[in-house]
Amino acid sequence: MSVQTSIKTFGKPMGRDELAELVARDIKPGSFVNLGIGQPTLVSNYLKPEQNITLHTENGMLGMGPAAVGDQIDGDLINAGKIPVTELPGASYFHHADSFAIMRGGHLDICVLGAFQVSATGDLANWHTGAPDAIPAVGGAMDLATGAKDVFVMMTLLTREGASKIVESCTYPLTGVGCVTRVYTDKAVFLTGPDGVTVRETFGCTFEELQELVPIQLKTAVKY
């Protein structure tokens, strides 16, 4: 049986919007999805009507559409990050407790979250750096990380100091254990799980250059 690496290399690092568009394309049609605050909110702008994606926001809405602009803006219609959004036909609103029941009850197919760190086995740290002057911001991240069937992370690969956010073991307080299945960064897409980290594609660097940035052994995706 012959084995070939299937990693793809693209010419430049991914910008935030380009990465959001990539995540949107990867979401399976018919999915129920929660988008975390920050970079993940951009994904809503790139979902296609034919995908039939239902977006959930933890402040109590199903059927959220793209970000609102101009005359679309309604101060009472916002997502969990307080960004004005639109509503799609069939949108519904409900109590905060019911919203968390959706999250905790396993009714979401995917959540897309930001992160401070992701470990080699898919542990997630995204609510607190542990620094004495840092403000914890857990929100519903623990509920989403535990309740969603798949957890996608969107983040820059490196910190401002140049350290990798993909690590052997998280040094920040954990949000969830072994929950992350995919990590989208400006330099690569990683698949995570109990068997380690596999690189699906790279942006603006080779696999070898990427390995120099990440302090764990990476694998390339393969096809038979």
Which CA distances in Å does 146 have to 68, 104, 195? 30, 7, 20
Burial of 146 (0-12, 13-18, 19+ CB in 10 A): middle
Task: Give 148 or 37, the one with higher predicted confidence.
Answer: 148
Tell me the pLDDT tens digit for each residue of 130-179.
788 887 777 899 999 999 999 999 999 999 999 999 999 999 999 999 99
Tokens of 102: 């959706």
- Selection from 143, 134, 109, 114 nearest residue 126 by Cα: 114
Residue 80 — left, alpha, or beta (φ > 0 → left; ψ -120 to 50 → alpha)?
A: alpha
In Å, how far from its chain's centre is CA 220? 21
Determine if the pTM surpasses 0.85. yes
Question: Is the per-residue pLDDT at 222 higher than 80?
Answer: no
Separation of alpha carbons 96 and 105, rounded Å? 14
Q: How far apart are CA 43 and CA 45, in angstroms?
A: 5
Q: Which member of 21, 50, 58, 161 is catalytic? A: 58
Q: What is the dihedral of CA 8, 12, 16, 19, to 10 degrees?
A: -10
Q: Is 208 a catalytic residue?
A: no
Give 57-75 pLDDT, tens digit per residue: 999 999 999 999 999 999 9
What whole-number percentage of the chain has pLDDT above 70? 94
